[in-house]
Structure 1
Amino acid sequence: MLIGYARTSTIEQKAGLDTQLEELKKAGCDKVFEEQVSSVDIKARTQLDAAIEYIREGDTLVVTKLDRLARSVSHLMKILDDLTTKSAHLRILGLGIDTAGPTGKLILTVLGGMAEFERGIMLERQREGIAKAKAAGKYKGRKPTARAKSEEVIQLHTAGTGKAEIARQLGIGRASVYRILNSAIAAKSQCVET
């Protein structure tokens, strides 16, 4: 039996999820598990866990791309180990890899290692670029969106609006609301002392 698994990182990537589902259907998957969750948050990937739990001996877990399945080589190896324990296999459509044979397992392990290595190199380059930009005075970071709404936060709070409602109305986090209000209180108390 072919068991499909599709994942996108965010709800905004609906088209990407639809494309994966279409590819899995064309591949002949009998059942498909899907979710929209970041690959970083491995614990929140309940549908991946459900797919692996559902798989029986001789079944194959099918994904469209390697990055839809695992974030790191260690995570990939854990998934492969779980599948091997169940005498099941993994097929990655975009790479044409099937772990039913030893060659597929070897190629997958090497590709997973290369992908993790490339990601590490990319992050290192990014850090170096940010450090250079900071040294040149060109890197300012992200604009503080919540602080730009400080006056609105204070006005709404003064009008009796609750902190959670303020956050919802202004599209900022509750922690930002608390931070803005605490800063305003601290500033006010300094003015009173002076």
Structure 2
Amino acid sequence: MPKTTKERPRMRVGYARVSTAEQSLDLQRNALRQAGCERIFEDHGVSGSAMHRSGLDEALAALAKNDTLVVWRLDRLGRSLVHLIDTVNLIAAKGAHFQSLNEAIDTASSGGRLVFHIMGALAEFERALISDRTKAGMAAARRAGTSIGRPRALTQKQIEYAREALAERGDDLGTLADLFGVHPRTLARALDKA
């Protein structure tokens, strides 16, 4: 008789988060339990804008194919639309689904996937707007004569002095770099560019 592999049952994984230590997770915990979550991961006193949240990282690691990550509200998962989309894409890459109870979004349904595609398009539009504004601001600053980026580590006079000291006196690159308060690689790059 051929062996049959028993497939792991689908699991609903809950994630709850509050930003301050004074806030309570009880409301979210109860809603997630009522939604059928067998496991609930939490972040207490952690901002939604934090790049790494241990509770969320554990919840994502616990997801397997066809599981669903459930949150009480979208803002519990992430503060920015871009972060939210990136996280849901990570869930989808695992073959899992995402559900937000308050917004009635469920990526296991075609309607839920549509909503997320629209949100993804909005996030991409937001990125493009930010990029355009940044480029326009930099162009305006250049026209006004403002220097963009970090200030140069070495002045032209320092570079000329270093070149002379290396060529004529045979000074050591490291010693000259120490004299100017920069790393020897910084001095070497400046000499190459000049």
Question: For the superposition of Structure 1 and Structure 2, which TM-score range results when normalised by the shorter chain?
Answer: 0.5 to 0.7
Q: Which residue identity is paired with 1:13?
A: Q
What is the aligned counterpart of 2:16 among 6, 16, 20? Answer: 6
Q: Name segments (4+ residues, structure 1) moved above 2 Å.
A: 108-114
Q: Distance in 2 between matches of 1:64 and 1:110?
A: 21
Map of 1:189 onto structure 2: none
Number of residue equivalences: 113
Q: Distance in 1 between matches of 2:99 and 2:55?
A: 17
Q: Deviations over 1:54-110 (max 9, x none)?
A: 100010000010000011122112111111111100000001110013321221354
> Counterparts of 1:23-172 in structure 2 under 5 Å?
23-36=31-44, 37-43=46-52, 45-110=53-118, 113=122
Contact kept? 1:73, 1:109, Cα under 8 Å: no
Q: What percent identity do the matched residue pairs reach?
A: 43
RMSD: 2.0
Which is higher, the Rg of structure 1 or of structure 2? 2
Map of 1:155 onto structure 2: none
Q: TM-score, normalised by structure 1?
A: 0.54
Q: Which residue identity is paired with 2:15?
A: Y
Contact kept? 2:14, 2:70, Cα under 8 Å: yes
* Unaligned residue ranges in structure 2 (runs of 5+): 1-10, 127-194
* Unaligned residue ranges in structure 1 (runs of 5+): 118-194
Q: TM-score, normalised by structure 2?
A: 0.54
